[in-house]
């Protein structure tokens, strides 16, 4: 069974548009959990454009499933993570000018800082996932450096035209098989929505998908609980 990790960043994006307290990402997390989400995900970016330090602390105290903190390897964000101690962190690359995460973390190029961070988090009892492209060299390096989990970047699959998605699915399928063979847990995420989730899961078995923008977008019209429940039902019906 594939679990649903619900990314609530864009509830905070909406809140920050007016600088107030509504809508509250913690309330969204609680509704998501009550509606079938198996974990809550948030990304504390260096520029704090959506989720802020106080949100992470409040989520840690409120979430009853599990909290996964997505982050780049910025020293001040590492300090927050080591202090808050989420169940798991997910390492992503980050550029200030990007609208959203653009690609997988380069485990080869940034081998030293990633290895150091994994050692620090493991010593603190925090699991480490790394967001990577479906690439054999990256997967082998993540394994060598001691990552417990990888999240495969589904953006290229999600952004491909329906008839051109096949090679991307094949790449993801091979990457997931390689990682499982190495004993690494496999998650997937980025760009997944109500139209493309089932085709992915029928082909690529993963233990969790992390989804944010499409659910928050649907929630504007359908309500947060309904939007989460509908996504959960689509995932469950694949098995
Ligand atoms: N996984 C990672 C690593 C991400 O950076 C994001 C976006 O924050 C997601 C999953 C969720 O992507 P989306 O918002 O497109 O569902």
Please count the structural domains in the chain. 1
CATH number of the structural domain spanning residue 170: 3.20.20.70
Nearest-atom number in ligand 1 for the CA of 158 is: 15
* Nearest CA residue ID for atom 6, ligand 1: 190
> What is the DSSP secondary-structure string of the chain?
--EEEEE-HHHHHHHHHHTSS-S-HHHHHHHHHHTT-SEEEEE--TT-SSS-HHHHHHHHHH-SS-EEEEE---HHHHHHHHHH--SEEEE----TT-SS--S---TTTTHHHHHHHHHHHHHTT-EEEEEE-S-HHHHHHHHHHT-SEEEEE-HHHHHS-GGG-HHHHHHHHHHHHHHHHTT-EEEEESS--TTTHHHHHHHS--SEEEE-HHHHHHHHHH-HHHHHHHHHHHHHHH-
Q: Which residues pair with 39 in a beta bridge?
A: 5
Predicted local distance difference test score (pLDDT) of residue 229: 98
Measure 189 CA to ligand 1 centroid, in angstroms.
6
Which range of residues forms the domain containing residue 51?
A: 3-238
Kindly list the catalytic residues. 43, 70, 190
Ligand 1 atom, smallest distance to 214 CA: 16
Encoding tokens for residue 100?
């959203």
**43 close to ligand 1 (CB < 6 Angstrom):** yes
Q: How far is the CA of 119 from the centre of ligand 1 (A)?
A: 25
Query: pLDDT grade, residue 101 (50/70/90)?
Result: confident
Closest CA to 190 of 160, 219, 156, 232: 156
**Closest to 46 (Cα-Cα) out of 21, 20, 78, 16:** 78
Q: Is the pLDDT of residue 44 over 80?
A: yes
* Nearest in space to 222 (alpha carbons), one of 211, 214, 212: 214
Q: What is the mean pLDDT of residues 165-180?
A: 97
The response to whether residue 156 sits with its C-beta less than 6 Å from ligand 1 reads no
Q: How confident is the model at residue 102 (pLDDT cuts 50, 70, 90)?
A: confident
Nearest-angstrom CA–CA distance, 183 and 129? 13
The residue contributing the CA closest to ligand 1 atom 7 is 190
Pocket test for ligand 1, best of 47, 129, 190, 192 (most atoms within 8 A of CB): 190
Phi, psi torsion values for 26, nearest 5 degrees: -70, -40
The rounded Å distance from CA 190 to ligand 1 centre is: 4
CA of 191 to the centre of ligand 1 (A): 7
For atom 12 of ligand 1, the residue with the nearest CA is: 190
Assess whether the C-beta atom of 213 lies below 6 angstroms from ligand 1. yes
**Closest ligand 1 atom, residue 211 Cα:** 16
For residues 163 and 60, which has the higher predicted lDDT (pLDDT)? 60
For residue 146, what pLDDT is reported?
Answer: 94
Residue 193 alpha carbon, nearest atom of ligand 1 = 16
> What pLDDT was estimated at residue 99?
81
Check pLDDT > 90 for residue 94.
no
How does pLDDT run across 103-134, given as a tens digit for each residue? 899 999 999 999 999 999 999 999 999 999 99
Place of tokens 């864009």: 10
Cβ contact 107:142 at 8 Å:
yes
Structure tokens at 182: 């190495």
For 49-67, the pLDDT digits (tens) are 999 999 999 999 999 999 9
**Tokens 């923008």 sit on residue:** 213
**Residues near 74 by beta carbon (within 8 Å), at least 6 away in sequence:** 46, 94
């Amino acid at each position: 069974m594939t679990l649903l990790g619900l990314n609530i960043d864009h509830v905070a994006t909406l809140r920050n548009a007016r600088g107030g307290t509504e809508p509250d990402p913690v309330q969204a997390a609680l509704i998501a959990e009550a509606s079938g989400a198996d974990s809550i995900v948030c990304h504390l970016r260096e520029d704090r454009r959506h989720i802020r330090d106080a949100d992470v602390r409040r989520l840690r105290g409120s979430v009853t499933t599990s909290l996964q903190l997505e982050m780049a390897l910025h020293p001040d964000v590492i300090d927050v993570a080591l202090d808050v101690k989420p169940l798991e962190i997910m390492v992503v690359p980050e550029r200030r000018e990007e609208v959203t995460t653009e690609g997988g973390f380069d485990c080869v190029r940034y081998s030293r800082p990633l290895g150091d961070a994994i050692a620090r988090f493991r010593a603190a009892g925090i699991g480490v996932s790394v967001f990577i492209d479906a690439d054999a060299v990256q997967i082998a390096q993540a394994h060598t450096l001691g990552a417990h989990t990888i999240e495969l970047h589904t953006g290229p699959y999600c952004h491909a035209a329906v008839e051109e998605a096949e090679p991307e699915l094949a790449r993801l399928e091979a990457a997931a098989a390689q990682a499982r063979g190495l004993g690494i847990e496999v998650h997937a995420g980025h760009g997944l929505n109500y139209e493309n989730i089932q085709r992915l899961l029928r082909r690529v078995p993963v233990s969790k998908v992390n989804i944010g923008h499409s659910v928050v977008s649907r929630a504007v019209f359908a309500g947060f609980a309904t939007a989460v429940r509908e996504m959960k039902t689509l995932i469950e019906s694949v098995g």
